[in-house]
């Protein structure tokens, strides 16, 4: 094992700004291809409909410290982290898993895992659309205001320079087109896995 991911393990890292559709893409990969999601930890309160152990491991600031993290960040005032324990649970079921991270986390995964991290960067043509999307998801209005004003939001709108040579950039304006791009990408990943 290296960094919690065996030589044969692959992690699809889905990154991009808030509301670009990272969770939607991760859910699609699970439903369409059975690719398990690595559940990460956060100190932010659950949104309506979110469940502990499914959407996140919801933590207090104290319990957050007790896990062992491959990486952790503060995003718009809350802590988030991907634990070795969470990765192990995902990889126990499949050599290919997905994880949803901000761009700082995606950079760490690319650095630590090399080509075992497959980076997807999601964009939308009009960033104004992102506010509508997260409003329609039912986020708390004060959290939306804080998030859109945060430097983390601005940073995640752009693909970091070190990820530019490796990232698969998918514009998620049209869901049918996004699914086509994902299907083609997953098919290439499986082809590579079969021959490695
Ligand atoms: N192609 C699309 N067209 C329109 N709406 C979309 C599209 N993709 C996702 N959405 C909707 O946008 C909202 C935000 O999507 P999602 O929660 O997947 O984003 P996210 O990137 O995971 O956000 P965050 O980083 O804030 O958790 C959801 O209501 C989702 O249904
Ligand atoms: N670097 C990490 N980023 C993470 C992790 N878990 C989630 N995230 C990202 O945080 C923001 C906010 O998430 P939200 O659920 O509150 O909207 C978003 O970009 C997520 O992708 C993690 O473990 N590490």
Residue nearest to atom 4 of ligand 2 (CA): 101
Ligand 1 pocket, residue 24 CB under 6 Å? yes
> Which residues fall within 8 angstroms of residue 151, CB to CB, at 6 or more apart?
none
> Which residues fall within 8 angstroms of residue 157, CB to CB, at 6 or more apart?
17, 123, 127
Residue nearest to atom 12 of ligand 1 (CA): 133
Look over the chain and give the mean of its residue pLDDT values, rounded to a whole number. 94
How far apart are alpha carbons 148 and 152 in whole angstroms? 9
Mean pLDDT lowest for which of 22-31, 86-95, 146-155, 163-172? Answer: 86-95
Question: With the CA atoms of 85, 87, 92 and 93 taken in that order, what torsion angle do they form, in degrees rounded to the nearest 10?
Answer: 130
pTM of this prediction exceeds 0.90? yes
pLDDT tens-digit series, residues 94-133:
999 999 999 999 999 999 999 999 999 999 999 989 999 9
What interface predicted TM-score (ipTM) does this complex get?
A: 0.99
11 three-state secondary structure: strand
- Largest Cα separation within the chain, whole Å, is 49
- Cα(100) to centroid(ligand 2), Å: 6
Angle between helices 141-148 and 128-136 (to 10 degrees): 160
The domain limits of the chain are 10-38+95-195
> Which residues fall within 8 angstroms of residue 67, CB to CB, at 6 or more apart?
41, 57, 59, 81, 83, 85
Fold exhibited by the domain 10-38+95-195: Rossmann fold (3.40.50)
pLDDT for residue 35 is more than 80: yes
Residue nearest to atom 10 of ligand 2 (CA): 102
């Amino acid at each position: 094992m290296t960094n919690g991911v065996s030589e044969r393990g692959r992690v699809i890292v889905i990154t991009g700004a808030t509301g670009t559709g990272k969770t939607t893409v991760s859910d699609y990969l699970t439903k369409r291809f059975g690719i398990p999601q690595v559940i990460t930890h956060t100190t932010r309160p659950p949104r309506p409909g979110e469940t502990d152990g499914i959407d996140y491991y919801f933590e207090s600031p104290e319990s957050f410290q007790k896990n062992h993290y491959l990486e952790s960040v503060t995003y718009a005032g809350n802590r988030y982290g991907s634990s070795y324990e969470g990765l192990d649970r995902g990889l126990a079921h499949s050599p290919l898993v997905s994880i949803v991270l901000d761009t700082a986390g995606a950079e760490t995964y690319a650095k630590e895992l090399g080509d075992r991290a497959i980076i997807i960067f999601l964009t939308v043509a009009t960033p104004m659309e992102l506010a509508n999307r997260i409003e329609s998801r039912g986020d708390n209005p004060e959290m939306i205001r804080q998030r859109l004003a945060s430097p983390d939001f601005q940073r995640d709108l752009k693909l970091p320079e070190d990820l530019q040579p490796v990232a698969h950039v998918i514009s998620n304006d049209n869901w049918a087109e996004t699914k086509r791009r994902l299907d083609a990408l997953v098919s290439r990943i499986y082809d590579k896995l079969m021959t490695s």
